[in-house]
Structure 1
Amino acid sequence: MKILKFGGKSLSNGEGLNKVVQIITDKVQQGEKIAVVVSARGNATDELEYILKIAAKNGDYKRLLENFKVYQVSDYPQVDLSEEFTILDKLFEGVSLIGDYSNKIKDQILSKGELLSAKLLTAILVEKGIPANFADSRELLKTDSKFGDAQPLEQLSKKNVVNYFKEHNGSTVNIITGFIGSNNNNDTTTLGRNGSNYTASLIANYLNAEELQNFTHVDGIYTANPDLVADAKKIEYLSFNEANELANFGATILHAKTIIPLLEKNIPLRILNTFNHENRGTLITSDAAKEGIKTLSVLENVSLVNLEGRGLLGKAGIDARIFKVMGDHNISVSIISQGSSERGIGLVVATEKATLAMVELEKEFENDFYSKDVNQITVTDNVSVISIIGQDLSTFHKPYTALIKNKIVPILFNNTVTGKNVSLVVKKSELNKALNVIHGEIFGVSKKINIAIFGHGLVGGTLINQILESAAAIEKRKGIKLNVFAIANSKKLLLNKNGVTADWKNSIQKDGAEYTIKDIIEYADKYHLENLIAIDNTASATFVENYIPLVESSFDLISSNKVANTLSYGFYKELRKALTDNQKNYLYETNVGAGLPLIDTIKLLHLSGENITKIKGVFSGTLSYLFNNFSAKDVPFSEILKEAIDNGYTEPDPREDLCGNDVGRKLLILARELDLQNEFEEISIQNLIPEHLREGNVADFLTKLKEFDPIYDKIKADQKPNHVLRYIGELSGDLQNDKGNLEVKLVSVPSDTALGGLKGSDSFFEIYTESYGDRPIVIQGAGAGSAVTARGVFGDILRLSDKG
């Protein structure tokens, strides 16, 4: 025989009840031998409890009770439920008159949910020609008299069940009320919340059932609550031990007592979905499942009671006194954490019992307060417990590091004696984000990276399109899901927690709204977005002011904007301190050399202790193009410059390239990577623009390009034979001191050298070190262009995504 148990949502009006009837009908027609245990339908138990509280306050309970009755009869007015309704009328009327009720009365009232459910289902099945029999479990399960949480009397209950099924066996389907029993005086008792599962488990045990099938509204046990973690996966198999741990750590789909009766008789438990009967669910057996983390379980509605005191260190009997208080007042403790250096004990209890726990502990330790052995006893509300079932402490650093990276600091944690389960107490406001962070780290699902992109011009727009085009392939290949949730320019912001689409340009025009950086931070917080990256593709000095607030709000930074690294050395250090304090990263490989691996190379050499003695190179792709072509062709400088302008190689105002400040900023960035404290004003920069053309508007400047020609024709003619012109940045001097010599200048070099042989718009860098002597490390390649720069930023995204 198989025992089928249906939960409240499965038995709710409409689709639920129809599905239950269909499942039972199919099994009977297939010749399966079954018995059915039912919960109260829908939210009946909660509704009855609420009506009870209203009645006790002499409130208008009758209207609520009538609504309750209407729902229970619903589409089946022909089913006679008048006996239960009459009893409820009398009980509620009595409670209303007295203004109070006992747990005994409460059990009588709550029991009606299951009785109504079983009677209705039995009547529907009989009406459809299925031989069904209503079985009142108060006649089967005998319990003690602890109303509200009664314990079955094993021998007597087993005898009753076995005898009952001898009489009502054969082809009849017994529809049994879950959750309820009775004591030796035949007073109604209940087995505690979720007790219908316990009823089904006991019946299965007493009858040596082949399997217990628990029908719910989900497909089985998941790696986390799917309502909280969208990427949660169904678990195919669990062992009883794992299921028991899961139940103890708050999994509502299982009652903590359900497992033991099944384990005693080695009866498999299958969790199934009433609404998706084709799914095979989760099978729980005595077979030891493979080791490893199985699921994340959550305890909500809990509080943390903290007892602190230096004077308690080393004193015997303190723990016994604490737990005597807990036991005397029926306060269950789910998690305990103890400190040693400054004695502290944290206890996680149900929120409804937290104040009682604190008050009674204060009474117990009253004398210890006077002697100052106890400093304080406090309660922290609004906390939740996340338990990682199957977590070994040897690998716990991975989810813990992921939490810290996302600025979630657990209040406390502990592990079980087996070392196979770890529980964390976190702020309730951080629960959703914490679950997603841990789940993403543990279960190998795609690690979600949530990206906010500021600036969507040439580089920013290209980057967004590169991400959207490559996202699917990257998720498949690297297990990283790139989600651009925010795109902003200086005026408008587009937000979508699920990620922008290829139509983002139209969307930001149509739906974009004015914003502050605070709006983006609050949006990420509201939707519990983890692994946050802010990308600055602007050229704005003003936007850099947002870097530290973003870092403090759990964003890593990536920037193609050179400003942040070339402001005052004071700001440079302040930003680094904020990054260190918040354990965040800042990548800016594209600040110098676009997509070339220059900054990473210099960082690695410097960190390894290599003494870098000089860095020299062509830092600007625009100026590389100008002087490579001017040196190679017998044409005026103005003609090459106009060609570069027409092809979009320069800034809209070419003087921004020609003044040398951009090269100076790049050189300063490299100097600061070597811990040099130079300021921008200390760089010697040769301005390529004739002095009389440096002011005025762009349009006027563009009409006077020929005025460059006599100056540069002379410079070109004055060179030694077989020499060419190159505009370079050079960092030299004793680079072990606080400051180096930074020069940006036009030089003439032999055409047969590596620098002299430069072509097109390539960037070129020589890194001289003590170890390498006169043979520099050379890095050369495309140093300009929106696609190259965007690809470099993309590389930084992937580099950050792989961290941790």
Structure 2
Amino acid sequence: MKILKFGGKSLANGQGIQNVLQIISKKQTNNEEVTVVVSARGNATDELLLLLEKAHGNVPYSDDFELFKEYQSYNASTLNLEKEFSLIEKILEGVNLLGDYSEKVKDQLVALGEVISAKYLTNLLNENGIKANFVDARNVLVTDANFGNAQPIEAVSKKKVQQYFKENQGVVNVVTGFIAATASGETTTLGRNGSNYTAALLANFLEAKELQNYTHVDGIFTANPDWVADAKKIDHLTFNEANELANFGANILHAKTILPLVEKDIPLRIVNTFNDDNEGTLISAALTLEGIKSLSVLPDVSLINFEGRGLLGKTGVDARIFKVMADNDISVSIISQGSSERGIGIVVAASNATKAVIGLEKEFENDFYTKDVNRISIVDNVSVISIIGQDLSTFHKSYTALINNNIVPILFNNTITGKNVSLVIKRDEVKKALNVIHGQIFGVAKKINIAVFGHGTVGGTLLDQILQSADTIEEKKGIKLNVFAIANSKKVLLTKKGATKNWREKVNEKGVSYAISDVIEYAKDHHLENLIAIDNTANGTFVENYIPLVENGFDLISSNKIANTISYEFYQNLRSVLAKNQKEYLYETNVGAGLPLIDTIKLLHLSGENITKIRGVFSGTLSYLFNHFSAEDRNFSEVLQEAIDKGFTEPDPREDLCGNDVGRKLLILARELELQNEFDEIKIQNLIPEFLREGSAQDFLQRLNELNPVYQEVKEQQESNHVLRYIGELSGDLQQEKGNLEVKLVSVPVSSALGSLKGSDSIFEIYTESYGEQPIVIQGAGAGASVTARGVFGDILRLSEKK
């Protein structure tokens, strides 16, 4: 025999009840012997409780009662439920008259929901040619008189159940779940998950082959699929694993449901009424592969902190605490303490927290007086996440992932088996924490949520690169890049599911005005994890947003040089905030576009290498300009115009020719060596003659020919076999607080590393104490949106792999 248990949603009017009928019919066709246990249909229990409260509060309830009767008798013309409806009405009238009710009366009322449900299904089965028999569990299950949460008297109940089913074979027995009766016949209910408990007891007493629990989900998942989009169905659990899940908040299970099945080694299968082809989750005694099985949540709990510095060395403190809990009928789900008993944290249901503290304050009243106990306090708005199957040997991965996402557990402990870890988390961080842990431990793609600020030439190219490569990166690296925000200085497009290839149109159509706080709040409201903010602007004011972004869980990546070249005070403050929040700031493209320059200098400096000088061609634009002008018989203005036409320069080329950009790049390298130079200390040779520095960009572009005599003279004054290069140079005693920073036009031999430069390449020479006169040379493409965007993309992947 198999026991089939159907929940309220499965028995609801419409598709649910029709599917239940089809499931039972299919099993009959396959000659399977089944017994059916039912919950109340739809929301019947909640509706009956609401009617009870209205009657108790002298609030009109007749209209609600009529709706209840209409729903429960829907499409059942041959079924007479007048007896049940009349009894409900009688109970409500009595409560309304007295203005009060007992747990005993409450049990009598809510029991009728299951009675109506079982009679409804029995009638429907008989109408469809399936011989069925209504079974009122109050006639076969005997309990104590603990109304609201009665405990079965197993020996008596077992005898009654076996006798009844022996006399009623060859039919589908439809049994009321949740309800039972005392030996004197008074109605009781079995408490939380009572219908499942009924089914488990019947399975035990009848030694069923399997208990099949039909619900509205496909089985048990690695996490709540409503909260974690990547949650996966678990095919098989052991009873012990299921029991841990039940203890830590898995609504579909309850520990008392498992125990009768464990006793007789009866498998439990969780199946979806609305997807009968799915095999669901099988729970049995058979061993499964070790490892983490699921994440479950206890949402409505409070943490009680008990602090007693004067209790050091005193025994029995725990016993006194637990006596208080027992006397007040309070269950403790987690306890954590130091060996000295000076500090103890216990987790209880939020509804019991105040009662627990009052009880503890009374118990330890004298200890407060002697100051042995300092404080008993409540931490509200917390939840517990339990990682079922988590071994402490690998827990550091999940813990680190939480810290990287600015989620700091308030308390954690592990079970005596060492295979389950529970964390107390702020309630508003639970969804984000679940996604972070789930992505870390279940091998699904780790989601990286990216906000891109600036979608011009570099930013737009970057977005296209991300979207073109996203599938490949997810497949090969297990990293899912999700661009949830695209912004310029005026508008932002926010989308939790991520940008698509038509992002330009979407920004225009759906972009809205914003402040940086709107992006931060959006990430919080949607529980987005692994946050990265990317600054592709050239905006001096946008860097003011860096610190609030970091403080709210974002790592930073920037192609914008300004944050690293404004005041040294801001530079230091930003790094202090980054360290405090354990966030990273990557900016490899600040110098050398996509070349691995900054990382190389950081590594050399960190390893203790004494860097004595850095020099090089820092600007791809000016590299192109002087490489061609030096090697070709052309006017300076002609080569400059060619660079402008190729898009190598800024709209106003004077921004390149003034040398400030090279100066900023040089300053960034100086600060990587912990030098405290400021920008105004850099000696910069401005390539624009004074007579061309004023006026509009358009005026300057029309007067390019006036540059020719100036630079022709410089070119002709060189030694033979020399070429012009515009370089940045960091020199001096670099072990001191400041170095010498200079940006200048120099003439170098064609045969030198600087002299052999071609196209728009950049080149950097790093001189160190160990390498002597032979510098480390880094050379490659130093300009272009595609190269810079690719460098930013590299920073994204570096950060993503660390998370």
TM-score (norm 1): 0.99
Maintained 8 Å contact 1:660/1:688: yes
* 1:160-239 equivalence runs, <5 A: 160-170=160-170, 172-239=171-238
Matched, 1:27 2:65: no
Partner-residue secondary structure (3-state), 1:576: helix
Matches of 2:617 and 2:97 in 1, distance apart?
Answer: 93
Matches of 1:313 and 1:23 in 2, distance apart?
Answer: 63
Partner-residue secondary structure (3-state), 2:319: helix
Maintained 8 Å contact 1:468/1:502: yes
Matching residue of 1:700? 699
Matches of 2:262 and 2:125 in 1, distance apart?
Answer: 32
Q: How far does residue 340 in structure 1 lie from its aligned partner after superposition?
A: 5.2
Aligned partner of 1:528: which letter? H
Maintained 8 Å contact 1:3/1:209: yes
Matches of 2:396 and 2:54 in 1, distance apart?
Answer: 50
Matches of 1:60 and 1:303 in 2, distance apart?
Answer: 36
Q: How far does residue 54 in structure 1 lie from its aligned partner after superposition?
A: 2.0
Aligned partner of 1:132: which letter? A
* 1:549-588 equivalence runs, <5 A: 549-588=548-587
Partner-residue secondary structure (3-state), 1:306: strand
Matching residue of 1:124? 124
Partner-residue secondary structure (3-state), 1:305: strand
Matches of 2:339 and 2:665 in 1, distance apart?
Answer: 52
Aligned partner of 1:544: which letter? V
Give runs of ≥4 in structure 1 deviating > 3 Å.
339-342
Matched, 1:58 2:64: no
Matching residue of 2:401? 402
Matching residue of 1:589? 588
Aligned partner of 1:520: which letter? V
Matching residue of 1:721? 720
TM-score (norm 2): 0.99
Q: Once the two structures are superposed, what CA deviation does each residue of 1:205-244 show, in whole Å capped at 9, x if it has no partner?
A: 1111111111110000000011111110000111111001
Aligned partner of 2:589: which letter? T
Matches of 1:53 and 1:332 in 2, distance apart?
Answer: 27
Partner-residue secondary structure (3-state), 1:381: strand
Partner-residue secondary structure (3-state), 2:437: helix
Aligned partner of 2:762: which letter? S
Matches of 1:767 and 1:657 in 2, distance apart?
Answer: 24
Matched, 1:546 2:554: no
Matched, 1:276 2:275: yes
Matching residue of 2:452? 453
Matches of 1:599 and 1:348 in 2, distance apart?
Answer: 49
Q: How far does residue 82 in structure 1 lie from its aligned partner after superposition?
A: 1.4
Matches of 2:285 and 2:478 in 1, distance apart?
Answer: 34
Maintained 8 Å contact 1:195/1:255: no
Partner-residue secondary structure (3-state), 2:513: coil
Q: Once the two structures are superposed, what CA deviation does each residue of 1:696-740 show, in whole Å capped at 9, x if it has no partner?
A: 111111122122212211211121111111111111111111111
Aligned partner of 2:197: which letter? Y
Aligned partner of 1:151: which letter? Q
Q: How far does residue 759 in structure 1 lie from its aligned partner after superposition?
A: 0.5
Structure 2, gaps ≥5 residues long? none
* 1:97-176 equivalence runs, <5 A: 97-170=97-170, 172-176=171-175
Partner-residue secondary structure (3-state), 1:355: helix
* 1:457-468 equivalence runs, <5 A: 457-468=456-467
Matched, 1:377 2:376: yes
Aligned partner of 1:477: which letter? K
Matching residue of 1:316? 315
Maintained 8 Å contact 2:126/2:132: yes
Q: Percent identity?
A: 71
CA distance 1:310–1:101, change in 2 (3 Å): same
Matches of 2:724 and 2:659 in 1, distance apart?
Answer: 15
Q: How far does residue 395 in structure 1 lie from its aligned partner after superposition?
A: 1.1
Q: How far does residue 78 in structure 1 lie from its aligned partner after superposition?
A: 2.9
Maintained 8 Å contact 2:615/2:764: yes
Q: CA RMSD in A?
A: 1.1
Matches of 1:624 and 1:302 in 2, distance apart?
Answer: 64
Matching residue of 1:532? 531
Matches of 2:313 and 2:412 in 1, distance apart?
Answer: 22
Q: How far does residue 90 in structure 1 lie from its aligned partner after superposition?
A: 1.0
Matching residue of 1:49? 49
Partner-residue secondary structure (3-state), 1:394: coil
Matching residue of 2:519? 520
Maintained 8 Å contact 1:619/1:728: yes
Matching residue of 1:242? 241
Matches of 1:48 and 1:413 in 2, distance apart?
Answer: 40
Matches of 1:62 and 1:366 in 2, distance apart?
Answer: 51
CA distance 1:342–1:758, change in 2 (3 Å): farther
Matches of 2:555 and 2:340 in 1, distance apart?
Answer: 35
Q: Once the two structures are superposed, what CA deviation does each residue of 1:454-509 show, in whole Å capped at 9, x if it has no partner?
A: 11110001111111111111111111111111111111111111112222212222
Matches of 1:373 and 1:48 in 2, distance apart?
Answer: 50
Q: How far does residue 62 in structure 1 lie from its aligned partner after superposition?
A: 2.6
Q: How far does residue 132 in structure 1 lie from its aligned partner after superposition?
A: 0.5
Matched, 1:412 2:411: yes
Question: Aligned pairs, how many?
Answer: 803
Matches of 1:381 and 1:18 in 2, distance apart?
Answer: 44
Q: How far does residue 63 in structure 1 lie from its aligned partner after superposition?
A: 2.5
Maintained 8 Å contact 2:292/2:389: yes
Aligned partner of 2:76: which letter? Y
* 1:339-738 equivalence runs, <5 A: 339=338, 343-738=342-737
Aligned partner of 1:199: which letter? T
Matching residue of 1:95? 95
Aligned partner of 1:742: which letter? L
Q: How far does residue 510 in structure 1 lie from its aligned partner after superposition?
A: 2.0
Matches of 2:617 and 2:182 in 1, distance apart?
Answer: 91
Partner-residue secondary structure (3-state), 2:120: helix
Aligned partner of 2:122: which letter? T
Maintained 8 Å contact 2:353/2:378: yes
Matches of 2:714 and 2:61 in 1, distance apart?
Answer: 99
Matches of 2:62 and 2:106 in 1, distance apart?
Answer: 17
Matches of 1:196 and 1:626 in 2, distance apart?
Answer: 82
Matching residue of 1:16? 16
Matches of 1:390 and 1:65 in 2, distance apart?
Answer: 47
Matches of 1:610 and 1:699 in 2, distance apart?
Answer: 48
Matches of 1:300 and 1:802 in 2, distance apart?
Answer: 31
Matches of 2:303 and 2:22 in 1, distance apart?
Answer: 46
Aligned partner of 1:138: which letter? R
Matching residue of 2:326? 327
CA distance 1:706–1:438, change in 2 (3 Å): same
Matches of 1:9 and 1:675 in 2, distance apart?
Answer: 65
Matches of 2:721 and 2:457 in 1, distance apart?
Answer: 38
Matches of 1:610 and 1:40 in 2, distance apart?
Answer: 75
Q: How far does residue 341 in structure 1 lie from its aligned partner after superposition?
A: 6.8
CA distance 1:243–1:540, change in 2 (3 Å): same
Partner-residue secondary structure (3-state), 1:748: strand
Q: Once the two structures are superposed, what CA deviation does each residue of 1:295-334 show, in whole Å capped at 9, x if it has no partner?
A: 0001122222222221122221111111111101111111
Matches of 1:493 and 1:321 in 2, distance apart?
Answer: 58
Partner-residue secondary structure (3-state), 1:639: helix
Matches of 1:247 and 1:686 in 2, distance apart?
Answer: 73
- Could you tell which deviates more after superposition, 562-571 or 712-721? 712-721
Q: How far does residue 66 in structure 1 lie from its aligned partner after superposition?
A: 2.1
Maintained 8 Å contact 1:313/1:340: no
Q: How far does residue 46 in structure 1 lie from its aligned partner after superposition?
A: 1.8
Aligned partner of 2:224: which letter? N
Maintained 8 Å contact 2:313/2:340: no
Matches of 2:375 and 2:640 in 1, distance apart?
Answer: 76
Matches of 1:118 and 1:778 in 2, distance apart?
Answer: 83
Maintained 8 Å contact 2:317/2:341: no
Matching residue of 1:74? 74
Partner-residue secondary structure (3-state), 2:251: coil
Matches of 1:589 and 1:573 in 2, distance apart?
Answer: 18
